[in-house]
Each structure stands twice: as C-alpha cells, then as structure tokens.
Amino acid sequence: MATVRLSFSPAPVHVRTARLVGVAVARRAGVAEELLDEVRLAIGEACTRAVALHNQYRIPDLVMVEMSDSDSYMVRVIDRAPIEASIGLTKLPPDELAAESLTDEALTTGVGFALLAGFVDDLQVRPVDEGAGTEVRMVWPVHRR
Amino acid sequence: MELSLTTRTVGEHTVLDVGGEVDVYTAPRLRERLVELVDGGSRHVVVDLARVDFLDSTGLGVLVGALKRLRAANGTFGLVCAKEPLLKIFRITALDQVFPIYSSVEAAISTSSGERDDNPPTA
C-alpha cells in the first residue's frame, strides 16, 4: 500500500495543487482513466469545503489530504472545523437553487455537496476520531495491476 | 490552466468567453467581470463555457449569482456548453433546470432574441 499525504494552509490557491496531486496519485494507483475527471472534481470540492470552513471559523490549521491505495484508491480530506458545521449538508432542490433568499454560501455548499454525492459512489462524511473536525472519505475502484 | 475571460458584443448580446479552470481561487475574477458587465448596462449576457476545462461549485455559484442579477434587471442570461463532463455537472446539481443551456453561441443568441421570457431552450 502506498500513501501520499499533503497538508496546506487553508487558502483557495492551494486547492488546485491538491487536485493535481490527487489525480496524479489516482492515475498511478490504477484508477480508470474515465474516472479521473470525477476524482479531480471530488477532491477539489472536498478541499474547497474544508478551506471555506477554516476561513469561516478563522482556523489557521492546515487542511490535510491523505491518499492511499491498496484494494481501492482512498482519499481523506480532513478539516478542523466544529462538527456542527457539517450538520445540514444537503442537496438543494431545483426550485431553491436560484431563489433570491438563498445566500451565495448556502448555494455553493449545497451544490458542492451535490457534486460530491453525485460523483463519489463510496462517500462518507464523519467526525474525526480526535478533536474537532470532519473527515470526507472518498473511495474509487482500481484496476488490479 | 489559468482562467481567461474575453468579452465581445454580438448585436445586443454580450458574450463572455471563459477558458481554463473556474474554481474557488479563480471564480472571484469571473464574478467581478459579470458584475462589471451588468453594472455597465449589459442586459443580455451569454457565457460561453466551450474552453472551460474545470468548473466547481464556486464557479456554479457565480453563474447563479449572475442569473439572479440579470433577472432582477429584466435581462437574460444563457450558458453555452456542449461538453459532456460539464453538462453532467449541471445535471447532477439540477442546475440544468435553472439555466438556459445552449449548444452554441448562435443558438443562445437567436433563442434569447426571439423569446424574452422564461421559455426553456431546447438545447
């Protein structure tokens, strides 16, 4: 099993780096070529969410991304925001998406979660084992090498 | 790939050609340009996503913001997108039911010129 870990300051500019690394490791792990766009998008969404939460709660800690492959390709994106920040994550119904009352933040959060749920068959969002924070765990199949 | 933004005028439409990656880092520049266009008097805006190779939820949020801003100003807003990976993003988020999405700039312009109401496009 190979593991690659990446930690970055919670700034938008670094999300692209995390996407690039995540896709490079996925390719090497044997994730099918046709899934790589989805891997890129999902890692980006999970990291964007983590950066937004750190900024919202003024948490300077690093966002952690861990990529590992064994029987499958697993990516964990870990933030340090209070767990209640993740309560209410839900996919928005179409008639609410362009509602005037919906804030930009709520729209982006809802759409981001819809993308994660839509593109990742094996997705878990759960509290970290120790301290504050949430782990977004995404798993993709790999070809046997 | 860096974000690129180019504006051109076709009749009474303003076409914004977007290229590269629209994400949490670059989306504020797209938002700024769209706000400038509306504040500058553009009322019929078409955003061409043909050269976009990455679009995330932040970018989608910016596009929804532009749609709302133009609706409030009695304007029209359309997207041009024929790439299946991007179309899938609109379908998964149900935003394909919110945006008029066309397969070409010509289709966007001709449809919104003839229909200044909320009729959905066929593309």
Q: What is the ipTM of this complex?
A: 0.89
Residue identified by tokens 């504006």 is B7
A97 CB near a chain B CB, below 8 Å? yes
Interface test with B, best of A15, A107, A116, A123 (most B CBs within 10 A): A107
Domain ranges of chain B: 4-112
CATH code: domain of residue A77? 3.30.565.10
The 10s digit of each residue's pLDDT in A108-145 is 888 998 999 999 999 999 999 889 999 999 999 998 65
* Alpha-carbon radius of gyration of chain A: 15
The class (CATH top level) of B4-112 is alpha beta
Rounded distance, CA A112 to CA A141, Å?
22
Question: Which of B13, B4, B7, B22 lies closest to B86, judged by CA?
Answer: B22
Overall domain count for chain A: 1
Provide the domain limits for residue A8: 2-141
Which of B65, B67, B89 shows the shortest C-beta gap to A115?
Answer: B89
Contact B14, B45 (CB under 8 A): yes
Quickly state the pLDDT bin for B2 (edges 50, 70, 90). Answer: confident
> Among residues of chain B, what percentage have pLDDT more than 90?
87
**CA of A99 to nearest chain B CA: how many angstroms apart?**
8
Rounded distance, CA A104 to CA A85, Å?
16
Rounded distance, CA A123 to CA A90, Å?
14
Quickly state the pLDDT bin for B123 (edges 50, 70, 90). Answer: very low
